Structure formats: structure tokens, C-alpha cells
Amino acid sequence: MHGVSLRGREQVSRVGLLLTLSLAGILLTSAVILVGVWTRLVDAGLGCPDWPGCYGRLVVPDAERAMAHSPDAPLETFKAWVEMIHRYVASALGLLVIALLVAGFRLRKYQGYPWGVSVALLIVILLQGAFGAFTVTLKLWPQVVTMHLLGGLAVLLLFLWLHLRLRRFAAGDMSERPRRRLTPLWSLAMLLLLLQLALGGWVSSNYAGIACQGFPTCNGQWWPEMDWSEGFHLTQTVGPNYLHGQLHADARVAIQQGHRIGALLLGLVLLTLTVRYWGEARLRPWLGGLVGIYAVQLGLGVANVLLWLPLWLALLHTAGAVALVLCLTMAVWYWRQGAGEEHKTRQDKEWVHV
């Protein structure tokens, strides 16, 4: 059935529903990421000692029932509710992904329909559920916590990519026009953003956010004592419980400094990317957005250090990371579409010449 055109009110209505669901997915995923960070910042990641319920129940029980279920993990009601709110919102996101698959099933064989993106989204959301369980059962092991954050950002990116593909599908653009390949500069920008996001997750999961006092120096020094091997020992097993972190001070300083160096490199590449492609009108809003968001992120990062990581400021810093992912994805999308416009322009010129 490849090549079948989209016809009928039912199909048009279905695509409209899919566009709405994918947009809702972008917003809900952003909320899930921020609620997850809030859960971590208030030390509620182990508010419920089991998974998927809380002390064996789907809602937070009273202290007596909690004690009977897990006598070694006394109930802290506020933290338990924070953790369960995170799970409820994440579960709603999973249901939304299933709804997208069901609604798009009949359209999967139409040329240009992004069925593969929808399936990839389901696979990633299932992996996210597994990482959510491991976060609890492995007692906030930093490797799992960091992967859980990156998984959430991957879900966000897939929702946005799905929405953009659905918009193109709804517009009837089912042609096989060429798409521009990513240049090394685009690839470098994407790689450095991924590494910086991972470093941010590593800083958070190892509680290294205020390992350095002061900025631009760290603890009064430009290059303080650091333990890089321990700070980035990815197979570390220093448990059994990672709440508040287990690494010594020099290892945490190394993590914080690594995050600062990564931010500097990312900023230089984003600035280079913006200067290089500023001449393309369709890219200009997104490139300008990237530089602007990065500047705000830099300010928020410095403020977090100087103000000792207040909750609201840490949440804003995470929101900035989400905005960077969305903005760079949009810039990549419009870059790749540029080849199609060039191809169409060449065809028009050839037709006029004939």
C-alpha cells in the first residue's frame, strides 16, 4: 500500500488527533522531566522503597501499613507523595504513547507516515519504565539516575520529531525529496550537547552541584585538587545507598569542573554554528534561540553555585536544558529540509528553461 494518498475525512481527523496527542506528549514529557528533578532535589527518590507501588499500594498508605510492609524504611509522607506524583505523571505519559500507536495504526502503511518513530517512542518509554524501577531498587545508583534523565530527554526529542513528521504528513508532503546530511559542525554540536546533558545528570546524581564554591574559580583556585579517575569511574559500586552521594570531595570537584569545561566547549561550538549558518533565514530564529538559551543557562549555572543550589533555580536550570534540546532539534529539522527547497527550486528553474 506504499504510495497510497491520504483521502477522506476520517483520515484527516485521525491525523489531527495525532498532531494534538504528539504536541501534548511534548508538554507532558517536559513536565515529567521537571517533576523528576523536583523529586530528586527534595530527596524523595527513595520516598517509596518499592516499585511500582508505594509500600505495596497504589497510593501512599498510612504509617502503620507502611511499617508493616517495610519496617526498615520508615514512611515520610511528603517524600512518598512526591515520588508517587512522579510515577503517576510518568504513567500518564506511557498511556499517551500507547494512544498514539493505536490512533496511528491504520495509517502505518501510508507513504510518509512516521510509524517507525512511533514504535521507537514506545520502545524508549518502556526502557524508561525499567530505569525508573532500577532507580529505586538500586538505591539511586548514579549510572542509572543519569541514564534515566537522558532517557527522558530522548522521549522528548522523539515526541518533537514525531510531531514535525506528522505536520509534514498532514500537509500532504509524501515526496522522496532529498534531505541535507548533517555536516561535521552540526554533528559536533549535537554530540557536545549530549555529553553536557550527561555531565549535568552526573553532577546531580553524585550531588556535586556545589562541590565548587565560587565562580569562575573553584574553592578559591583556578585548578583545584581533583580526583578524575574516581569522579568518572562509571563502574563504581560504593553503595549500598546513594542518597546524598558517596564520593569524596575531590571526586565531586572533578565532576563539577568537567561540567564547567563541557559548558565552555558547547558554547563555543553553538556560537560557531550560529555564525556559520546565520545567512539562512529559516535557521535564524532557532540559531538565535540556541545562543540566547545557552546564555541564560550559563547564568543559571553560575547562580546555582553562588546561591547554593536553591530548588527553584535548579528547576529553571533543568528547564533550560529541555529548551536547548528542543531548539537544537528544530534547527536540525530545518537544516535538513533545506535540501528539499533547493531541489524544488532547481526543478522550477529547469521547467522554466524548457
- Residues assigned a catalytic role: 83
Task: Record the cell numbers describing residue 19, joined without a space.
Answer: 498532531
Q: Is residue 3 packed enough to be buried (19+ CB in 10 Å), middle (13-18) or exposed (0-12)?
A: exposed
Secondary structure class of 157 (helix, strand, coil):
helix
Q: Chain-centre distance of CA 272, in angstroms?
A: 24
Task: Record the cell numbers describing residue 134, joined without a space.
Answer: 532500577
From its phi and psi, is residue 233 left (phi > 0), alpha (psi between -120 and 50) or beta?
beta
Secondary structure class of 273 (helix, strand, coil):
helix
Helices and strands (DSSP H and E) totals, the chain: 10, 0
Q: Is residue 169 packed enough to be buried (19+ CB in 10 Å), middle (13-18) or exposed (0-12)?
A: buried
DSSP state of 10: H
Other C-beta atoms lying within 10 Å of the C-beta of residue 178:
11
Other C-beta atoms lying within 10 Å of the C-beta of residue 344:
12
> What residues have CB less than 8 Å from 34, skipping those under 6 apart?
315, 318, 319, 322
Beta-bridge partner residues of 57: 54
φ and ψ of 54, to 5 deg? -125, 110
| C-alpha distances out from residue 132 to 14, 41, 162, 195, Å | 32, 16, 24, 21
Task: Record the cell numbers describing residue 31, joined without a space.
Answer: 513536565
Spatial distance between the Cα atoms of 154 and 124, rounded to a whole number of angstroms? 8
Task: Record the cell numbers describing residue 105, joined without a space.
Answer: 495504526
φ and ψ of 157, to 5 deg? -60, -40
